[in-house]
Structure 1
C-alpha cells in the first residue's frame, strides 16, 4: 500500500482574532456573527455576494482536485500561539490554545464547498435535546446522562453532495385488479357439519408499460465514511433552502471534515435514491389495486451537483467497553444514535414484574378461598 502523497508545507489559513481582547472569535449558532467566548465582542460575518452555485456534472473532469487516497494531512500553523497541528479536517481548533484554524479553499486540493448550512442549535440547545433523548430511553444506564453535558459534544460540519437531474423512465410491469369468488367450506357446530360460504379476494394480473418523468432537486448523499450513512440519513430533514454560499466565518470554532466519497460514487448513490422514487411513480402510473414493476430504464439529463457542509453535534459514549455515537442535527435539534442497555435495570424490571405477578396470583387465590 502506498503512502498518500501531498504537500507537507503549512496550510494557508485565516486568523480569527478578537477585536476586543485579542483572544479568538467563533461563529455563534443562530446568528450571523462571530463572538469572543471571553469578552463577548461580536463581529458580523460578511454578507454573501452571490447565490449558491452548482456545477454541471459534465464539467466534473475540469474541476481541480486530487483523488482522496492521494491527499496528505493539512499542516496548520496557529496564528495565535504558533503551534503546528496536522489534520485531515478543513477546519480545526488549535490543540494548545483552541484558536480556530480554517484552511484556505486554494489549499484544499479537492472540490471546494459551494454551500454551508450554518449551526443554529447552540450548546444549550444540544444539552436540552440530549437530555430529552436520554430520558426517553428505557433501560438506559445511569451514566448515559453524561452525554447531555455540553462539554462532551463536538460541533462538526459534515460534507454532503447534492444532485439535481431531469429523468425519463420507461417501465414494464403488471397491474393487479381485485375480484371476488364465493368459496364453500365446512365447519362443525355442536357435533354436526354445516356447509357455509365466504367471499375470497383474488387478483387478476394484466400487462402494463409506460413512461414517467420527474425532476429531482438536491438529492442528498453523505460525502464521508467517517460517520454512519444510516445515521446521517436519519438526521433528515434538513432545511437546504436556508443554505448560504460557503464562507470561512461559519467554520470558525468548529471541525469540518473533508469529503472522502468521490462525486462519481456520490452520483451512483444518488441514482439509487432516485430509483426508489421513480419506482413509486411507475406504480402510481400503472394504477389498479396492486402493481408489479418488472423493469425500469431511466435516462438522466442536466445533472448538476455541489458540495455542501451540514452542521452536526457529535458525542461519543463508552459503556461496557463499547463506543456508542450520538449525533444532533445542528439546525433542528433532532437526535439520532445508538444506546446501550443496562443489564441491571432490565433484571430489576423483570424481577419487579415477577413480584407483581406473584402478588396478583396470591390475591386471586385468597379471593377464591374466601
Structure 2
C-alpha cells in the first residue's frame, strides 16, 4: 500500500504525439482542435463519452487538503528531463514539450469540466492593446503597449456550487406619504409664508419566507493571482464548458486549487446571501425595505471543479512590471496600470478654472 504522505512517484506525463512528424500536439485556442506547432497538422479532440456531473458536497470534502498534497513529478519523453511542480499542466523547461499530469491517482478533487480557450495569443495581444489605449489619465507611452512579457495561457481552478435554499426573514416595509409643511422666509424685509410637500415614511413589520435554487455559483479556487482581478473577468460562458479531458490542457499551464472546497462553499454562501436579501426585499414590497435578519437552510448542495482559461502575464512600462490578465473566452482585460501625474494635474486645473468661470458668470449676470 502506498504511503499517502509520500510524493507521487515519477511518471511519464500524458502526451499527444503528432501523427505526421512525431512532435507533441497542443490544444489550439479558438480552433477547438489539437495542432502541431511544428508541421501544422491538426487532430480533433476526442468526443466526450460522458456528461458534466455535479458531485454531492460530502464527496468533495473527503479529499485531502491542498497543503498536504505533494508536487507532481514529470519525466519528459521529449528530452528525458525530470520536471517537478504543482501545475496540472505546464511546459518542459528544457525542451518546451507540453506536459499534462496524469491525475488519475491524485488525492485532490479532479476537475470535472474545462472551458476551452477561445481567444488565441494574437487576439489576446489585440485586447491588451485596446485596453491600454482606452485608459484615462495614462501616460501617452502606455498606448503603445500591445504585448505582455511572460504572457502565458493558463487554466485557473474554480468551484461551482448548486443549492436549494429556503430563507425565513424578518424586517420592515416602508410606505411613503406626503404632508404639507408651512414655513416662512424673508423677502425684501418682509416675512412671507410658504408651503411645501415633504415626503415621509410609515414603517410596518414584515416577515416571510423565500426560496431559490442556485445553479453554478462561481468561486475562484486559487490565490496565486489577485482574486479581485480574476473576479472582474466575469461573466464566463459556463454553458460552453466541456467534460474535462487532458487534451484541452496540452500546451497550456493549469494551476491546482489552493482554496479548499469547504472555504469555497462558504464563499459561495456569501454570494448567495446577496441574492437572497434581494429576494426578501422584493417579497416585503412597499416603497422601502429593512431586512433585520435572514435564516437560510441549504439542501441538495452539490459542487464541481472547473478550469477557466486566462492569458496571464505582465507588461513592462516605466521601468517596472505591471500584472495583467485576459479572459480566454471573451477577451475582457483586467490589470494594473500607471497614471500620468501631468495629465491628472492638468485635469484638476481645468476643473478649477471651469468652476471659477461658472461662479464669476453667476455673480456677473445672475
TM over 0.5, shorter chain:
yes
Corresponding residue of 2:361: none
Query: Deviations for 1:13-65, whole angstroms, at most 9, x for unmatched residues?
Result: 11122222222211011222111122111111111001101101133355xx3
CA distance in 1, matches of 2:8, 2:163: 39
Q: How far is 1:191 from its partner?
A: 2.5
Q: Is the 8 A contact 1:134 1:145 kept in 2?
A: yes
Using the alignment, how far apart are the partners of 2:144 and 2:100 within structure 1? Answer: 30
Tell me the distance in 2 between the aligned counterparts of 1:343 and 1:143.
Answer: 13
TM (norm. structure 1) is 0.89
Supply the distance in 2 between the matched residues of 1:147 and 1:312 (Cα, whole angstroms): 19
> Unaligned 5+ residue runs, structure 1?
362-370
- 1:238 is matched with 236
Task: Name the structure 1 match of 2:220.
Answer: 222
Change (3 A) 1:58 1:108: closer
List per-residue Cα deviations over 1:120-173 (Å, max 9, x = no partner): 011111011111100001232455457522664111000000000111000000
- For structure 2, the residue ranges without an aligned partner over 5 or more in a row are 358-366
In the other structure, the counterpart of 1:129 is: 127
- Pick closer, same or farther for the CA change 1:153–1:12 going to 2, 3 Å: same
Contact conserved, 1:183 with 1:197, CA < 8 A, in 2?
yes
The partner residue of 2:258 within 257, 260, 264 is 260
Q: 1:231 to 1:150 in 2, by over 3 A?
A: closer
> Of 258, 261, 286, which aligns to 1:288?
286
* Cα pair 2:172 2:204 within 8 Å, conserved: yes
Alignment match, 1:212: 210
Count residues in correspondence.
354
Q: Secondary structure at the match of 2:234?
A: coil
Asked whether the equivalents of residues 90 and 108 of structure 1 are also in contact (C-alpha less than 8 Å), the reply is no
| CA drift at 1:85 | 1.7
Q: Which aligned segments of 4 or more residues in structure 1 are displaced greater than 6 angstroms?
A: none
**Is this contact kept in 1: 2:29–2:116, CA < 8 A?**
yes
- 2:363 aligns to what? none
Partner-residue secondary structure (3-state), 2:338:
coil
Rounded Cα–Cα distance in structure 2 between residues aligned with 1:76 and 1:115: 23
In 2, Cα distance between equivalents of 1:158 and 1:327: 11
Q: Distance in 2 between matches of 1:156 and 1:96?
A: 19
- Give SS of 2:125's match: helix
Query: What are the Cα deviations for residues 223-250 of structure 1, in whole angstroms up to 9, with x where unaligned?
Result: 1111222112211111111100000000
Distance in 2 of aligned mates of 1:33 and 1:281: 43
Structure-to-structure mapping, 1:352-363, within 5 angstroms = none
User: 125-134 vs 111-120, which deviates more?
Assistant: 125-134
Trace 1:50-129 onto structure 2 (pairs within 5 A).
Answer: 50-62=50-62, 65-129=63-127
Change (3 A) 1:8 1:218: closer
Q: TM-score, normalised by structure 2?
A: 0.90
Q: Indicate conservation of the 8 Å contact 1:173/1:209, yes or no.
A: yes
- Residue by residue, what CA displacement relative to the aligned partner does 1:281-310 show, whole Å, maximum 9, x if unpaired? 000000000000000010001001000000
1:175 aligns with 173
**Comparing 187-196 and 326-335, the one that deviates more:** 187-196
How far apart are residue 78 of structure 1 and its match? 1.1
- Secondary structure in 2 matching 1:294: strand
Describe the shift of the 1:184–1:344 C-alpha distance in structure 2 as closer, same or farther (beyond 3 A): closer
1:6–1:70: 8 Å Cα contact kept in structure 2? no
Asked whether the equivalents of residues 137 and 339 of structure 2 are also in contact (C-alpha less than 8 Å), the reply is: yes
Tell me the secondary structure at the aligned position of residue 118 of structure 1. coil
Partner of 1:270: 268
The corresponding residue for 1:305 is: 303
Q: Is the 8 A contact 1:11 1:107 kept in 2?
A: no
